[in-house]
Structure 1
Amino acid sequence: MSNRILTAAAAALFLMSCQAKDTLPPKADLGVVAPILDAPDAVDIHSYAKPLEARVTHVALDLDVDFDAKRIGGTATLDIQAKPGAKEVILDDKGLEIEAVTDEAGKPLPYKIGAIDEDLGAPLAIQIGDKRKIVITYKSAPDSGALQWLTPEQTAGKNHPFLLSQGESIENRTWIPTQDSPGIRQSWEAWISVPSGLTAVMSAQKGDKADPTPPPPNRSSFYFSMDKPVAPYLIAIAVGDLSFRQLGPRTGVWAEPVMLDKAATELADTEKMVAAAEALFGPYKWGRYDMLVLPPSFPMGGMENPTMTFLTPTFIAGDKSLVSLIAHELAHSWSGNLATNATWADFWLNEGMTTYAERRIIEQVYGPKVAEQQVALGLDAMNKAIADNGGPTNPDTRLHIDLKGRHPDAGLTDIAYEKGAAFLRTIEKTVGRERFDEWLKGWFSRHMFQPVTTSIFLADIREHLVKGDRSLEDKLQLDRWVYEPGIPTNIALADPNAFAAVDSAVSAFKTGKLPNTATWSGWTTDERLRFLNRIDPKQPADRLAALDAAFNLSRAGNNELRFAFLMLAVNNRFDPAVPALEEFLAMQGRRKFVRPLISALAKDPSWGRPIAERIYAKNRSSYHPVTTRDLDKLGLLPKGKSPNL
């Protein structure tokens, strides 16, 4: 047994002794997290914080949202827990405009902002002396990487502005002064002042606590409270013209009024999903599960903010064919929000486990065939990700990834999602579902509201599942899966018959035979995606034209199908699809769609790059900073034009 496993095992035993099975860790108890954060693999290289010296345990925000200045400003009051004798707390800061730092009584505290790193921002070191509550008066960064300010024209309703945030992975340090590390869990509350007529929502329960600084008559104030310790990247806000629709006893959806009916219809099965997830993973610990359907500029498919999943409208297909996205974000209520990766090197503990859990929920609600087909699509995505990341010997195909010197989003690939899910599915198939499910429920119970690492995961599974069985240990190849590149030979493969009819149609397509209209109409979205992703990526123009003419793929109402066809079009220089491509890249800003299409165009110097330059210059202002951060590096904007213009 390696040293890292011994360290994690000791940490796990300590944690078990510190708290009962189903209780919340004591608020502001540095001892609960210290054994974890003290381990070498729990040191967060993407944060300046020193949590073993002093860490933030609670954040209280009192903020005004200013649409004219495109800034959020006010105060952040932080509760600090520190070791005896510690005189300094270090926060993460990326472009915040700090106006003052004081103790609770208003006495100024010395502070210093350190050297700036392009990705990480800068350390904000505050001399706290013996103070354990500090007040920071500030404004969000003028070019905050978390916040997007939309004009009325960029919304569905066209009448009111809109603000949305996306904090993962390390963007919340651009609008909240705290320790922005997933291992430093914090409770929080917020008073938010907005222009009258607009509604604020956040990733916490809305309350009726009085605002300590009541707003003027032309503004409204909202109060939110998260009494459970969460990773800082899960603090989220949206402000706009919003309405609410109840879906079930503890589920509902927020959206712009013109989007609400479509959103509610698509999300009608959410309450069933929550019940299915509880049966699989244990009680839902967050109270309500509401969702917010955002304007199409939102860069993610979904973001699992506690109590309030943020969603792209691109999942609305009219037939619930893309609601696996909801199952995924809901599953994060256990894997990611309950037990959270302590560092971004172990991102797979969030996303791999969630992707596995998503398919178990889908199986419960929509049946085994649908789930098995999504497993097969996931394995296709995994194999593509391995090829795109340099092949099976490349270190970036490990689950526990080395991100030194890189932005943590470099690890946001299908390796984390699909190799992680394949790993857990392989364990399930090896030990049997009943035994694996018992372990999985126990994992969430033993580690709820705690940061976790790969070594903690391995120690836990060895203690509670392997239990010293050397033969089982050899079969599982645990260390091989997480610490070595490529895919181990023991992987549990998908059912070879899951897409038998579709794969037959792929073979027929090679001989020139198109699926007939009745066949295509009878296929599910997953079956259509399998077909588009399995045909030869190199296609002549006449074949693409025939596909588009038969099935209207370039302007499909299902955005996943549209994207798959447009990728084929770009990779084959298919001119007739360019108008539809321009329309697609103007109507939404989801990074999953925008980044691959524009990147593929930019790599083609004579045909694609001029198209990419035209599209990006026209639409960049409607994309979230999370989407534009990498695309700006492609040099697509006219020389001398600032990306911020």
Structure 2
Amino acid sequence: MRILLPAIAALAIAVPAAAQQARPAPILTTPEAKDVWTHAEPEGARVTHVDLDLDVDFATKTLSGRALLDVLVARGTERITLDIDDLDILEITDARHRPLHYFVGPSDKELGSALTITLPGDNNRIAIRYKTRPGASALQWLSPELTAGKKQPYLFSQGQPINNRSWIPTQDSPGIRQTWSATLTVPDGFVAVMSGARLDGAKGTLVPHRKRRFRFRMDKPVPPYLIALAVGDLAFKATGKRSGVWSEPSMLDAAAYEVGDVEKMIDAAEALYGPYRWGRYDMLVLPPSFPFGGMENPTLTFLTPTIITGDRSNTDVVAHELAHSWSGNLVTNATWSDSWLNEGFTTYFENRIMEAVYGPERAAMYADLDWDGLNRDIAEAGGQSAPTTRLHGDPGTTAGQLDYFKGSTLLRTIERAVGRTRFDAYLRSYFDRHAFQPQTTAGFLADIRTNLIKGDAALEAKLQLDRWAYQPGLPENAVHVESATLAKVDAQLAAVKAGGPVAAVDPKGWATQQWLRFLNGLPRQQTPARLKELDDTLGLSGSTNAYVRSAWAELAIANRYDPALTSIGVFVTSVGRGLLIRPIYEGLMQQGDWGKPIAKRFFEEARTTYHPVTAAQIAKIVGPE
């Protein structure tokens, strides 16, 4: 039967057992919680559970099947609006298989289309038969040549922020949390993984027509962008009692070694901010085209292979995605205007995990580099008064990684002002109070004033919270953590900048962070002879560290250094991580007649190897063909 409420915000409502939850997750109805990136109208009717039954077809590069939605309906509401993007809708029925009237609105290039469905009069379930299209923005279908094994194709999804509407017809907004379940049917010989509990063994169940079935369930309400899948030639290796790593077999041992400290990280995170509430913490190391460093999909973090450098110097990415299990997955920004509530909190939390596992100095290295990144983002945005340097703003418009860097610096500044013990106690209680709920900047500020500041006028004035959240630039009370390790790099950098020989630099044992401090600290204007000396002495063009290759490419491009182009071309056609390749394309385009043709040529060669998210970003940078 339909669930009728006087107001949709009422929470203590039972839903069918299929929804796998005792009560629907709350939504926020305050003005600042209005999500402009969804067609949904959740105050009237909203999705509480999604059950997927999909067939994976590598030949046609499509998913096809059925989505069964449980819906919570306010009294007087007669329709529900979902988000879809280039889905072929074949049929929509109620739980008794009776057709329902529906309408697909015009397509918006950013938001996709609104799918409006007339609700059934006597139940709260909707069945949608549909099929994706080969160009679905969340899905990347890789040919065997683009995988490590070179034998089988590969599929993975990337939903954040609003791409999952290209393969799941639902209300695709972070403030509309949903439980979910799924059945994936794949060709025999493939393994499917998803961001939920596995209900079958590692190899699934053999079914007719030489296929295998894999079933999954997420019984905790999550924002829909966290529903994720991958299908390929995958193997698993445990890294601890509740953790392990999936990857293609040829890279499994290297991946397992690189993330081998994850159990220590989980213990450290729990000691800081309370129990890990998601069961297992597994990881999936994807092919190089994965567009991000990591993606915090619950129970199954997706990771870029670029973190595998053999020295665990990039395990901050693992710590970051683990921290999202609290900030982002447990307490989620209600809209993308407040993404700093996910990323800023997580960057701060990540640093605390790194300190607990590896010591204060290693954590200081990361924090010091983040400070560099923050000031670089502010400068590139246009300075302290640039609107895009606000934490709360229009969705998707903050400068660079400002959500990460300015957000974490705010929290570090609060910690310094009130003391670590007091701040940790507050954060732990914050995660408990708002578990499995959406949050806004206004909501966080109200919470911290009630539960930490508690009317202390002097502390309120010292923190300047409203200025941090709503005004551009970096307030003068910002805390800068300085690293002694990077200070030693700075000394060698200063000698080189003064004209000293590059041979005097001793990079033996340098971690990624030290390399980045050195390379990013070099003056942008260099002579060809000096660039040759840097490359020949330090082996930059041949480095196996993707971060080093990216930083070197930026410097070479700034000086139109032709000898580096072959190496740069190989790099951008073999790595799809946006953080590492976007600056290369941006640098080339800034070099006018010299760089623009090179950028377009590189992109033409690499485009089919990039995830649709990355391809769209680079297309905006290089412009029309």
Matched, 1:60 2:60: no
DSSP 3-state at the match of 1:55? strand
Which residue is 2:4 aligned to?
Answer: none
Q: Which residue of 258, 267, 273 corresponds with 1:275?
A: 267
Stretch moving more, 466-475 or 612-621:
612-621
Compute the displacement of 1:603 (Å). 2.8
Which residue is 1:609 aligned to?
Answer: 596
What is the correspondence of 1:119-268 to structure 2 with a 5 Å cutoff? 119-130=110-121, 131-208=123-200, 215-268=207-260
Give the Cα–Cα distance (whole angstroms) in 2 for the partners of residues 356 and 280 of structure 1: 12
Stretch moving more, 592-601 or 261-270:
592-601
What is the correspondence of 1:160-559 to structure 2 with a 5 Å cutoff? 160-208=152-200, 215-403=207-395, 408=396, 410-411=397-398, 413-495=400-482, 497=484, 499-516=486-503, 519-559=506-546
Structure 1 residue identity aligned to 2:76: G
Give the Cα–Cα distance (whole angstroms) in 2 for the partners of residues 66 and 448 of structure 1: 37
What TM-score do you get using the length of structure 2 for normalisation? 0.94
Q: Which residue of 568, 584, 587 corresponds with 1:597?
A: 584
Structure 2 residue identity aligned to 1:228: K
Compute the displacement of 1:508 (Å). 1.2
Q: Which string of whole-angstrom CA distances, capped at 9 and with x for unpartnered residues, describes residues 587-633 of structure 1?
A: 11111112221122123232111211221111100100000112223
Compute the displacement of 1:215 (Å). 4.3
8 Å contact 1:196–1:218 — kept in the other structure? yes
Q: Which residue of 609, 620, 626 corresponds with 2:613?
A: 626
DSSP 3-state at the match of 2:220? strand
Stretch moving more, 607-616 or 258-267:
607-616
Give the Cα–Cα distance (whole angstroms) in 1 for the partners of residues 36 and 51 of structure 2: 26
What TM-score do you get using the length of structure 1 for normalisation? 0.91
Instruction: Check 1:215–1:63 CA distance in 2 against 1; reply closer, same or farther (3 A cut).
Output: farther
Give the Cα–Cα distance (whole angstroms) in 2 for the partners of residues 33 and 525 of structure 1: 42
DSSP 3-state at the match of 2:455? coil
Compute the displacement of 1:197 (Å). 0.2
8 Å contact 1:27–1:57 — kept in the other structure? no
Instruction: Check 1:138–1:18 CA distance in 2 against 1; reply closer, same or farther (3 A cut).
Output: closer
Compute the displacement of 1:496 (Å). 6.5
Which residues of structure 2 form unaligned runs of 5+? 1-8, 14-18
8 Å contact 1:90–1:179 — kept in the other structure? yes
DSSP 3-state at the match of 2:592? coil
Give the Cα–Cα distance (whole angstroms) in 2 for the partners of residues 18 and 341 of structure 1: 22
Which residue is 1:70 aligned to?
Answer: 61
Q: Which residue of 92, 105, 108 corresponds with 2:96?
A: 105
Which residue is 1:33 aligned to?
Answer: 26
Which residue is 2:5 aligned to?
Answer: none
Q: Which string of whole-angstrom CA distances, capped at 9 and with x for unpartnered residues, describes residues 65-84 of structure 1?
A: 01010000100000000101
8 Å contact 1:94–1:141 — kept in the other structure? no
DSSP 3-state at the match of 1:44? coil
Structure 1 residue identity aligned to 2:67: A
Stretch moving more, 74-83 or 489-498:
489-498
Q: Which string of whole-angstrom CA distances, capped at 9 and with x for unpartnered residues, describes residues 221-277 of structure 1?
A: 000000000000000000000000000000100000001011011111111111111
Which residue is 2:3 aligned to?
Answer: none
Structure 1 residue identity aligned to 2:318: I
8 Å contact 1:296–1:589 — kept in the other structure? yes
Structure 2 residue identity aligned to 1:453: T
Over the aligned positions, Cα root-mean-square deviation in angstroms equals 1.9
Compute the displacement of 1:26 (Å). 9.9
Which residue is 1:3 aligned to?
Answer: none
Which residue is 1:10 aligned to?
Answer: none
DSSP 3-state at the match of 1:448? coil
DSSP 3-state at the match of 2:96? coil
Structure 1 residue identity aligned to 2:356: Q
Which residue is 1:91 aligned to?
Answer: 82
The aligned length equals: 608
Structure 2 residue identity aligned to 1:61: L
Which residues of structure 1 form unaligned runs of 5+? 1-13, 20-24, 639-645
8 Å contact 2:352–2:363 — kept in the other structure? yes
Give the Cα–Cα distance (whole angstroms) in 2 for the partners of residues 154 and 82 of structure 1: 45
Q: Which string of whole-angstrom CA distances, capped at 9 and with x for unpartnered residues, describes residues 547-587 of structure 1?
A: 11111112211111111111101111111111110111111
Structure 2 residue identity aligned to 1:431: V
8 Å contact 1:382–1:418 — kept in the other structure? yes
8 Å contact 1:616–1:637 — kept in the other structure? no
DSSP 3-state at the match of 2:86? coil
DSSP 3-state at the match of 1:68? coil
Structure 2 residue identity aligned to 1:193: T
Give the Cα–Cα distance (whole angstroms) in 2 for the partners of residues 490 and 547 of structure 1: 38
Compute the displacement of 1:634 (Å). 4.3
Compute the displacement of 1:158 (Å). 0.3
8 Å contact 1:86–1:129 — kept in the other structure? no
